[in-house]
């Protein structure tokens, strides 16, 4: 469990599929994401999958429910990718009813701190469509560097989309 000034990040529990489904079933939320709006079954399966990952050793997926006053309002996580498990890809989503209040930046900063200082990751990166201004802004506010823009490198929802790549190294975290 990770705590911030306003939030608690905790492991998923089975019933979180309801809160997840309530907003990740929205087309505006998944607009730039590589998956379709979640059905109830998909939301259930997602949460069950994350709970399986939570029991792994070593753990390859860290995905936390972001909670505000005990209610799940979003999630932030990362998947460790390389053979050494010291490079990870970051993600985050929030219920639009709670967007624009700095919650995701606050939650992802706590996850970055955990990732670099406790898990001892070397590099964390995140990707977003260049039109996903809120996502790019979150990564900039986290102090991540925009190090690449790929042009039309991924087919999402019927069109070729581009990708911004943001990254941060452990030494950049320590020096921020
Ligand atoms: C991206 C997302 C997680 C941001 O969550 P959030 O809690 O609103 O983020 P924060 O409040 O911490 O910061 C958002 C920043 O983006 C800015 N922003 C939001 N919409 C914007 C827009 N259309 N254009 C420019 N900036 C925008 C906000 O002003 C804020 O920056 P500021 O603090 O400098 O004013 C949320 O919009 C979301 O869930 N989107 C759908 C899922 C998604 O795309 N996830 C990212 C996957 S790559």
Q: What is the pLDDT of residues 83-120, one digit of tens each?
A: 889 999 999 999 999 999 999 999 999 999 999 999 99
Contact in structure between 46 and 38 (CB atoms under 8 Å): yes
Q: What share of the chain is helix, strand, coil (3-state, %, to 5)?
A: 35, 35, 35
What's the pLDDT at 82? 82
Q: Which two tokens stand for residue 146?
A: 């925009």
Distance 84 CA to ligand 1 centre (A): 31
Contact in structure between 110 and 2 (CB atoms under 8 Å): yes
What's the pLDDT at 14? 97
Using CA positions, which residue lies closest to atom 48 of ligand 1? 128
Protein residues whose CB sits closer than 6 Å to any atom of ligand 1: 29, 32-33, 91-94, 99-105, 128, 132-135, 137-138
**The model's pTM:** 0.96
């Amino acid at each position: 469990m990770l705590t911030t000034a306003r939030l608690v990040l905790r492991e998923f529990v089975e019933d979180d599929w309801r809160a997840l489904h309530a907003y990740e079933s929205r087309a505006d939320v998944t607009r730039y994401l590589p998956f379709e709006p979640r059905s109830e079954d998909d939301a259930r399966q997602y949460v069950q999958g994350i709970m399986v990952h939570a029991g792994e050793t070593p753990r390859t997926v860290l995905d936390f429910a972001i909670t505000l006053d005990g209610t799940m309002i979003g999630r932030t996580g990362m998947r460790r990718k390389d053979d050494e498990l010291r490079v990870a890809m970051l993600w985050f989503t929030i219920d639009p009813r709670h967007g624009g209040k700095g919650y995701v930046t606050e939650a992802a900063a706590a996850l970055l701190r955990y990732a670099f200082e406790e898990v001892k990751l070397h590099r964390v990166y995140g990707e977003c469509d260049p039109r996903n201004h809120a996502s790019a802004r979150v990564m900039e506010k986290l102090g991540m560097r925009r190090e690449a823009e790929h042009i039309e490198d991924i087919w999402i929802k019927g069109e070729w989309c581009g990708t911004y790549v943001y990254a941060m190294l452990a030494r950049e975290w320590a020096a921020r």
